[in-house]
Copies of this chain bind each other. A is one copy, B any other.
C-alpha cells in the first residue's frame, strides 16, 4: 500500500488580484491525497478551512500531543473509520489574520476564490468525484463559520457542511472583544496606530488578540473604503456608544439570523453538522444552541453535538464530522 501524500501548490488567483489589503494573490494550497491514490478510481473531496490567524498549510504543523491533518486522515482512512478522500487546504489568510471566507470589498473575494477557482482547479487536477454530493466543506472557528456560510450561499457546490465551534450569535461572542478594544486600544496608540504596528509588536499580549479580531471582522463585515481605516466599527471607540447601522451590517452575516433567508439551501444539504465545546471561551456554544433551536423550529435536518471542552485544541472533533460525511458518501 502506498502512503498518503501532501502536495503544496502555488496557486495564482485571479479574483484575489488587487485586493484592498494588498495581500498576495499567489497562495500555497495544500492538497492531501490518500494512500494508494494513484491506483484508485476517484475520491470525494473535503475543503478544510483553517481558523482565524491560520492558513491551510498550518494544519500540517507538528505538535506535541496531537496529530497534524495528514496523520489524522491517515489514521482514519487506515482504520476504515472514514472513506478515503482528498482534502484541499486553502489559504485565505489576510493582513489582519483572516477573511472569514467571504467576499468583502474591505479584504478580498475569498469565497469566490474557493468556489470559482479552487474547486474547478482541484476537480481538473486531482482524481475527485466532481459532484456536489461528494464535495464537503468543513472548518473550525472562523473556518466553521466559513463552512456554514459557504453551505448557505453555495449549495450547488457543496453537499455536506461541518461547522466546528463556528462564529455565530455575534452579540454574545464578538461583543466581549469590543469591550477589550474599548478598554485597551489607547495603550496601543489607537486603532490607526495598531493597524500600522501590530505585526511587529512584541509582546502580542494583553488585549492584542481581541483588538485584532475586531479589526479583522470589521474589515470583513462592515468595510467602508471611504473611511480612515477601510472599515467601520459598530461602536464609538471613546464612549462605547453603539452604532446600530454598522451593527446591522454585521448581523447580515450572523448565521443565527440567516435561517429564513437560506432555509432552502440548508435543507438541500446531505449533511449539516454543527458542534461546539460546552465551555467555549468565546461563548459560541450559545450560538450553536440557538442556531440548533432555530433549525429545529424551521424543520431543517441537522446533526448537533456539544462536547466537554473549550475552543482550543479541538481538532479531534474532525474525526466525528469526517465520519458523518463518510456515512453519507457510503450510503
With A57-B62, A238-B289, A286-B239 as known contacts, state yes or no: A179 contacts B183, CB within 8 Å. Answer: no
Interface residues of A in 168-213 (CB under 8 A from B): 169, 171-172, 175-176, 179, 182-183, 199, 202-205
A240 at the interface (CB under 8 A from B): yes
Do A58 and B62 touch (CB < 8 A)?
yes
User: Which residues on the B side are within 8 Å of A4 (C-beta)?
Assistant: none
With A171-B242, A290-B239 as known contacts, state yes or no: A309 contacts B202, CB within 8 Å. Answer: yes
With A62-B55, A64-B97, A203-B313 as known contacts, state yes or no: A289 contacts B239, CB within 8 Å. Answer: yes
Chain A, interface size category, equals 35 or more
Q: Give Cα distance in the complex from A96 to B96, angstroms.
A: 36
Do A239 and B293 touch (CB < 8 A)?
yes
Chain A interfacial positions (CB closer than 8 Å to B): 53-55, 57-58, 61-65, 93, 97, 169, 171-172, 175-176, 179, 182-183, 199, 202-205, 236, 238-242, 277, 279, 283, 286-287, 289-290, 292-293, 308-310, 312-314, 316
* Interface CB pairs A-B, < 8 A, 18: A55-B62, A58-B61, A58-B62, A61-B62, A64-B93, A64-B97, A65-B199, A171-B242, A202-B308, A203-B277, A203-B310, A203-B312, A205-B309, A205-B310, A239-B289, A239-B293, A240-B290, A241-B289
